[in-house]
Structure 1
Amino acid sequence: MKEAIKYLSKKDQTLLHILENFGNPVIQKREEGFASMCHIILEQQVSIASAQACYNKLQSYFIEINPINILNATDEELKKCGISRQKIIYLKDLAIKVITNEIDFASFSLKTETQIRAELIKIKGVGNWSIEVYLMFCLQSPDIIPLGDIAIKNTLKELYNCQTIEEMELLSNNWKPFRTFASYTIWHYYLKKRGKI
């Protein structure tokens, strides 16, 4: 973290201002594997609190969130955990792909980011945002910027007057090879400004 702070503070005055005035972001670390991918799917297009509530219900109901339990669960059981019909389809598709070894989370440490992306994109309902969050939170990839994230986009518009994804990509190139830490810093600012942390 120290190396990233030093590098980004020199490269970008706005990030330096955030770090000096709002403190360092908390770096999330989630376990690798099926359960974390389920959690990320639940986080799509809803608040963090709402997704966490669903995940907690799922964990309480099944004790262990694994592919067999999810695949064997009825839609009604999953709906009682607050999961939408669409996301039930996504979770079951993920479960099938893990059971049939189409996706092997245990092998990700031996694979390139490109190979991991190619596996995860096969899951129904999983796009770049979900993959990038998995890379950041679970695999601790150091150079990810999830430009599909609403908080990231809105903050880049606010602080840098970036209006297009192309402008945001160009800006984020200045933060290589520490775009993940820059992303955490931007999320930190977004949440602090809104009194959410």
Structure 2
Amino acid sequence: MTRPTPETLTEACEYLAAQDAAFARVHQALGVPDWRYGAPDYAVIARMIAFQQITTKAASAIWGRVEEAVGDVCTSAILAADEETLRGCGLSRPKIRHLRSIAEAVETGALDLDRVHAAEMEAARKELIAVKGIGPWTADLFLLYCGRLDAWPSGDVGLMESYKMLHGLEARHDTKAFDQLAESWRPYRGVAAHLLWNWINTERAKAYAANGGG
């Protein structure tokens, strides 16, 4: 898979707009979303692990220190780095264990990212989540970054919050209900995710600017 073309994304947005008027509003206001594309390699997964459950600002600082400490983030670099070095970058012990577990799986061939990249989505997802340290959300996000138009990061709070905002709801859907709703967006759930991310990020930027940047 490669980065989706603007033509493909436009077709997907028009399809989604016909399914839900909220997507029509986003598409009209913001156009075709920029795709969060990343090469299907270990560094992409490692970065996802590093960014989990902390603020983007904090995660960016930690990731920068990791890159400074080990150079190019690859399996051999992470396996060669001692725990003290990685802890000094700000990584928690569980995240270090996950990074090493995934690196070992890639090194031994238990996880073949080229095979994952070429496989049908369900087979690719199954191979990813079989590795200790890669949960369903990380697997789905990785596949989304690789260009899978229907990959869906279930449980992503940002997506649920964005949809709530667009529809003026008092509360977010829970994960199960939101996943059921997203079924109607197949085969473009990944495009729906990008539209929702674009919307909430734009609204947050407006609020930040309105508050004087503070």
- Taking the aligned partners of 1:26 and 1:119, their CA distance within structure 2 comes to 27
Query: C-alpha offsets along residues 163-195 of structure 1, whole Å, 9 cap, x if unaligned?
Result: 333321232122111111110010111111111
- Taking the aligned partners of 1:47 and 1:30, their CA distance within structure 2 comes to 20
Secondary structure of 1:194 counterpart = helix
CA RMSD of aligned residues (A): 2.0
Which piece of structure 1 moves more, 37-46 or 153-162? 153-162
Secondary structure of 1:118 counterpart = helix
- Taking the aligned partners of 1:53 and 1:122, their CA distance within structure 2 comes to 30
1:132, distance to aligned residue in structure 2 (A): 0.8
Indicate the residue corresponding to 1:142 in structure 2: 149
1:145, distance to aligned residue in structure 2 (A): 2.1
Structure 2 residue 178 is the aligned partner of structure 1 residue 168: yes
Query: C-alpha offsets along residues 69-128 of structure 1, whole Å, 9 cap, x if unaligned?
Result: 111211111012221111011101111111111111122233222222222113333211
- Taking the aligned partners of 1:132 and 1:48, their CA distance within structure 2 comes to 19
1:2, distance to aligned residue in structure 2 (A): 1.4
- Taking the aligned partners of 1:110 and 1:185, their CA distance within structure 2 comes to 25
Which piece of structure 1 moves more, 41-50 or 90-99? 41-50
Secondary structure of 1:27 counterpart = coil
Secondary structure of 1:28 counterpart = coil
Q: Which residue, 180, 187, 196 being the options, matches 2:197?
A: 187
Indicate the residue corresponding to 2:3 in structure 1: none
Whether the 8 Å contact between 1:152 and 1:183 is mirrored in structure 2 is yes
Residues 1-197 of structure 1 mapped to structure 2, 5 A cutoff: 1-137=9-145, 139-160=146-167, 161=169, 163-195=173-205
Unaligned runs of 5+ in 1: none
Secondary structure of 1:167 counterpart = helix
1:49, distance to aligned residue in structure 2 (A): 3.0
Aligned length: 196
- Taking the aligned partners of 2:115 and 2:29, their CA distance within structure 1 comes to 40
Whether the 8 Å contact between 2:101 and 2:133 is mirrored in structure 1 is no
Secondary structure of 1:32 counterpart = coil
Give the alignment's TM-score, normalised by structure 2: 0.83
Cα 1:145–1:109 change in 2 (3 A) is closer
Which piece of structure 1 moves more, 158-167 or 10-19? 158-167
Give the alignment's TM-score, normalised by structure 1: 0.90
